[in-house]
Structure 1
Amino acid sequence: MVALTEHDHGRIETAISTAEAMTSGEIVCTLSTERHRYVEWVLALAALIAFLLPVLLTLAGYGPSFWAAAFGLWREHQLTDWQTVEIFALMQVVTLALATLALWWSPLAQRYAPLSIRRERVHEIALKQFLTRGIHLTEARTGVLIHVSVEDHVVEVIADEGIYRRVEPEHWGDAAAVLLAGLKSGDPTQGFINAIGLVGGVLATYFPPTPDNPDELPNRLMIV
């Protein structure tokens, strides 16, 4: 869990204001601490467990005959092949249900999900924030969103079309990397400041400040 103080928020706001003074672009920073659960990842893991565990239990002597005797369903010598298959299938179904519930409420539901799945979810959330915060409504379409999902360990940098036409998306990779480095080192504030500095440098190169240079979007870090 990331806990930022008022001083931390102030430092980030100052970094945004400083960067925007050198460009006509706008920088918005958002941070999400939400714990996402990835259904497809949980079900895939649960299915794998449901496939392997009954087999391993059977090899260890806890197969259909054991459970039939334990619950008094049939005596071991009375089990037919079809009954054995039915009990084994029931073992798989029960394992699938229990594994799904256990995984759903464990860190495995998010923290160890494949990076591609986490990136896709964070990208969708970042796009929603981009539109919700009105970043696409700046006069010259030169807004940039820096969004980080703490629990997913994913950073998304989205630039509006005015920037996208002139700046390659690869320029934002360094900003994402330094922000992630700040999170991993336990100093997200410095991570944001470093990322803002890099984004501001790119914007200053391609979009120098205008004579009036209005501040069109809030400079504070927004928690979502």
Structure 2
Amino acid sequence: MRLSEADHAAVSAAVAAAEALSDGEIVTIVAGRSDAYHDVALHWAVLAMLGMLALLAAFPRIAERGWALVDPWATRSPTGGLLAAALVLVAATFLLMRLLLAWMPLRLALTPGATEARRVRRRAVELFRAAAEHRTKARTGVLLYLSLAERRAEIVADQTIHARVTPEVWGEAMAVLLAATRDGRPGAGMAAAVERIGAVLAEHFPRTAGDANELPDRLVEL
């Protein structure tokens, strides 16, 4: 899902309007996803492989029938043949799962929510450190980050804001953003969230004389 030019313009306008009322600086970033989750795919493939081993242990005739495909005239399956058939079945299970989990929607569907939340948060913090942290004189930068594939968002604030505004205060901004994203309107959700972030900043850090625009207003799409 890509944001349109109109979405970019709406979010940039919302940032400019919010910053006009506060000394705070808002950075907005939208990413396709926050992680590739290769480890999740590997874990599921290994779990499927172990499941096949358990199945073979419970029903050894599966391996016998596998060896029968190699030597249909054998009256008795040799131990080595059974082990070889089991090895082939286990390897095939592993490779099949890896192939299936190359499809990102399935990989995301099988990723635990807690894992997604940690990866999105980690990526948001990384981007905040690169784009906003310590880049304003008063340490009043805020990052609004949306990860589309996971449909999760994060708000990360610089030290001055974090010292005076608790994370719970951003709840309304997060709620409107995620609701709009679920409805297929991430651009509108970002703009609405920026408006609410701006209201919080205006309350705690009203604009003072000489305030300058220290960070870009444009929406960054990764």
Judge same fold: TM > 0.5, yes or no.
Answer: yes
State the secondary structure of the residue aligned to 2:184.
coil
Give, in whole Å, the separation in 2 of the partners of 1:196 and 1:181: 14
Change in 2 beyond 3 A, CA 1:155/1:35? closer
Give, in whole Å, the separation in 2 of the partners of 1:35 and 1:71: 46
State the secondary structure of the residue aligned to 2:164.
coil
Structure 1 residues without counterparts, runs of 5 or longer: none
1:65-80 aligned at under 5 Å gives the runs 65-72=64-71, 75-80=74-79
% identical equivalent positions: 34
Superposed CA RMSD: 2.5
State the secondary structure of the residue aligned to 1:31.
strand
Give 1:155's aligned residue: 153
Give, in whole Å, the separation in 2 of the partners of 1:69 and 1:85: 13
1:81-96 aligned at under 5 Å gives the runs 83-96=81-94
Give, in whole Å, the separation in 1 of the partners of 2:77 and 2:6: 74
Question: Deviations along 1:182-203, whole A, 9 cap, x unmatched?
Answer: 1111111220121111111111
Please tell me the residue identity of whatever aligns with 1:71: V
**More deviation, 57-66/96-105:** 57-66
Give 1:37's aligned residue: 36
Please tell me the residue identity of whatever aligns with 1:167: V
So what's the TM-score if we normalise by structure 1?
0.87
Give, in whole Å, the separation in 2 of the partners of 1:12 and 1:93: 49
Correspondence 1:15 to 2:14: yes
State the secondary structure of the residue aligned to 1:110.
helix
Give, in whole Å, the separation in 1 of the partners of 2:128 and 2:201: 17
Please tell me the residue identity of whatever aligns with 1:84: L
Among residues 192, 200, 210, which one is paired with 1:212 in the alignment? 210
8 Å contact from structure 2 (residues 180, 188) kept in 1: yes
Structure 2 residues without counterparts, runs of 5 or longer: none
Correspondence 1:178 to 2:176: yes
Question: Deviations along 1:137-186, whole A, 9 cap, x unmatched?
Answer: 10110110001110121101100001111111121232222111111111
Correspondence 1:199 to 2:189: no
Give, in whole Å, the separation in 1 of the partners of 2:72 and 2:136: 71
Question: Deviations along 1:37-56, whole A, 9 cap, x unmatched?
Answer: 21232122222322334655
1:94-133 aligned at under 5 Å gives the runs 94-133=92-131
Please tell me the residue identity of whatever aligns with 1:125: R
Give, in whole Å, the separation in 2 of the partners of 1:165 and 1:74: 78
The aligned length equals 222
8 Å contact from structure 1 (residues 30, 148) kept in 2: yes
Give, in whole Å, the separation in 2 of the partners of 1:136 and 1:197: 23
So what's the TM-score if we normalise by structure 2?
0.88
**More deviation, 119-128/161-170:** 119-128
Change in 2 beyond 3 A, CA 1:111/1:146? farther
Give, in whole Å, the separation in 1 of the partners of 2:57 and 2:6: 59
Give, in whole Å, the separation in 1 of the partners of 2:66 and 2:83: 12
State the secondary structure of the residue aligned to 2:153.
strand
Please tell me the residue identity of whatever aligns with 1:164: H
8 Å contact from structure 2 (residues 34, 123) kept in 1: no
Give 2:63's aligned residue: 64
Give, in whole Å, the separation in 1 of the partners of 2:45 and 2:176: 35
Please tell me the residue identity of whatever aligns with 1:6: E
